[in-house]
Amino acid sequence: MNDDIMYLNQLQIGQNARIKQLTCEGNIRRRMMELGLIPNTSVEALQKSPSGDPTAYYIRGAVIALRSEEASKIIVKIGCC
């Protein structure tokens, strides 16, 4: 991947990105899309839990916590928001 393309779980705290693609399928994909995780949506990594997983993300005016396993299925482009 390019330097500005990465998986959501690799986003550093305080960093902004734009969702490019979901690589999951089925019920997980549907759930992600219902949460507003669709292409061209802006996302910001807010904070990690004390154990390091899950991470809180600011998406479409809401704070959503995603486990690293879920976030690793979302491709984002950094520095574009």
Domains, the chain: 5-78 (2.30.30.90)
pLDDT of 15 over the 60 cut: yes
- Summarize pLDDT for 38-80 with one digit per residue, the tens: 999 999 999 998 888 999 999 999 999 999 999 999 999 997 5
Report the candidate in 52, 51, 53, 19 with the shortest Cα–Cα distance to residue 35: 19
- Which pLDDT score is estimated for 80? 59
- Which pLDDT score is estimated for 2? 67
Q: Give the strand pairing for 42-48 and 55-59.
A: antiparallel
In sequence order, what are the residues at sequence separation of 6 or more whose Cβ sits closer than 8 angstroms to the Cβ of residue 68? 9, 53, 54, 55
